Amino acid sequence: MGKNLFDSYKMIGEPLASQLRPKNFKDFVGQKHLMGKGMPLRQMLVSGRISSLIFWGPPGSGKTSLARLIATQSQADFVEFSAVASGIAEIRKVMEKARENLEFYQKKTIIFIDEIHRFNKAQQDAFLPYVENGTIILIGATTENPSFEVNAPLISRSRVFVLKELEEKELKKIAEKALLVLKRKIDEKALNFLLKKSNGDARALINVLELADSITQKSAKISLESAQHALQQKAVYFDKKGSWHYDTISALIKSMRGSDANAALYWLARLIKSGEDPVFIARRLVVFASEDIGNAQPTALVLATSNMQAVHMIGMPEASLNLAQTVIYLAKAKKSRQAYNALQSALVDIDENNLEPVPLHLRNAVTNLMKDLGYGKDYKWTDDIEFQKTINFFPDKHKKKNYLNEK
């Protein structure tokens, strides 16, 4: 009887995710916009002209697998660095070996840095001269926007490829391979449940299948109950300090701005589920109340401020109801950017024009000397609207402005 396809590289104690790493590009699943026929990354690999790369994408999208495949394809040494364990001295030691490999054996070295955003500036800078002179090919993987997390000189010398979350049909292919290695069958409902709950993350799916296998009796199918026990909770990727944090907040704000209360609730639920600080959400709602609603519905600011106080006093999970109530109200409220736009116009005037002194007639004459100098001259405290309309409240040489665009 012939060997199973995966037996040749299955090792005792080796994690299932490691066993399932593709050995060639034909086995690689997903990222067709990069690896499909004629696509940019595929073309680069076919031509053999591999430059330094940065893979930006969510967890479990195949960043590490791609890096290992590239090293195999190019027959290069593959060295993996850890942000926690790698100091400058270790980096220089590996760079020297890479130089010797290239100089004496004409062999390339691919340096793979997983979670490159966790490397500090000094660590990233240490690689730069070796990337510039071609001693190494650097492949960085990150879940964070490299524009903010990777040094600009490294980005300028690398090609950035964006990876996407895997689709359910792609996850299903990976699950079928995993089940083949595990020599296990799965109930269709259980499989569909895991495909939906994996949130496009292949690694999360594989890990849950491995755990479900371990809690399922021998020769039995993985049941829906076993899958639910193994999963415990849907894996929601969200970094409170990263770009995904700001992207999700942005989606919430834009949904409210578009008066789509249902979409706003969806993004609020994502924020709550991920463990976002409720006070941060509440603060953003207060800003939105003035920035996007303003005096079109002044009670929006009252409710948003009360909501922030309620969140402070109550805490989660009950405060989620306060947030939901406020988000719905703000989404459905009338919108006006008048206050925001008017203030921005006034600030531009301050930046672009000379700052003239306050006109004498607008100053308070609190002493006799100030009165003699003309402070408050021709101004009187009155509720006579017609009189008030005759007064120029701008600096003397400043043209009157209609920041509010009122007729």
The confidence score (pLDDT) of residue 290 equals 94
Task: Pick the last residue of a domain from 102, 133, 162.
Answer: 162
Encode 250-275: b = buried (16+ Cβ within 10 Å), e = exposed: ebbbebbbeeebebbbebbeebbeee
215: in domain = yes
- The verdict on 217 and 264 lying in the same domain is no
Q: Would residue 224 count as lying in a domain? A: yes
Specify whether 150 is located in the same domain as 191. Answer: no
Q: Among residues 248, 40, 294, which one has the least CA distance to residue 160? A: 40
Residues 158 and 34 grouped into a single domain: yes
Q: In what order do the strands lie in the sheet with 109-114?
A: 77-81, 109-114, 137-142, 53-56, 159-162
103 and 192 in a single domain? The answer is no
Chain segment 1-35, per-residue pLDDT in tens: 333 444 433 444 578 888 888 887 888 888 889 88
- Are 182 and 89 within one domain? no
Q: Are 54 and 118 found together in one domain?
A: yes
* Pair 188, 290 in one domain: no
Closest CA to 86 of 53, 110, 122: 122
Question: Is 328 domain-assigned?
Answer: yes
Q: Is residue 16 part of a domain?
A: no
Q: What angle do CA 111, 34, 57 make, to 5 degrees?
A: 60
Rg over CA atoms, the chain: 31
* CATH number of the domain enclosing 198: 1.10.8
In this structure, are 41 and 59 located in the same domain?
A: yes
Range of the structural domain that residue 174 is part of: 169-231
pTM of the model: 0.60
Q: What is the pLDDT of residue 125?
A: 82
Contact partners, residue 39, CB within 8 Å, separation at least 6 = 32, 33
Confidence (pLDDT) at 3: 39
- Same domain, yes or no: 47 and 147: yes
Query: Is 6 contained in some domain?
Result: no
The answer on 122 and 68 residing in a single domain is yes
- For residues 149 and 177, membership in a common domain is answered with no
Task: Find the CATH number of the domain harbouring 266.
Answer: 1.20.272.10
Query: Is residue 343 domain-resident?
Result: no
Instruction: Say if 346 falls within a structural domain.
Output: no
| CA gap 369, 372 in Å, rounded | 5
pLDDT score recorded for residue 266 = 93
Residue segments in the chain with a per-residue pLDDT below the cut of 70: 1-13, 82-87, 233-244
How long a stretch of residues is the chain?
Answer: 407
Q: Say if 407 falls within a structural domain.
A: no
- In this structure, the answer to whether residues 122 and 69 fall within a common structural domain is yes
Model pLDDT, residue 11: 46
Number of domains in the chain: 4
Among candidate residues 283, 288, 291, 273, the one with its CA nearest the CA of residue 307: 283
CB-based contact 136:91 (threshold 8 Å): no
Residue 367 makes CB contacts below 8 A (sequence gap 6+) with none
Contact at 8 Å (CB) between 52 and 139? yes
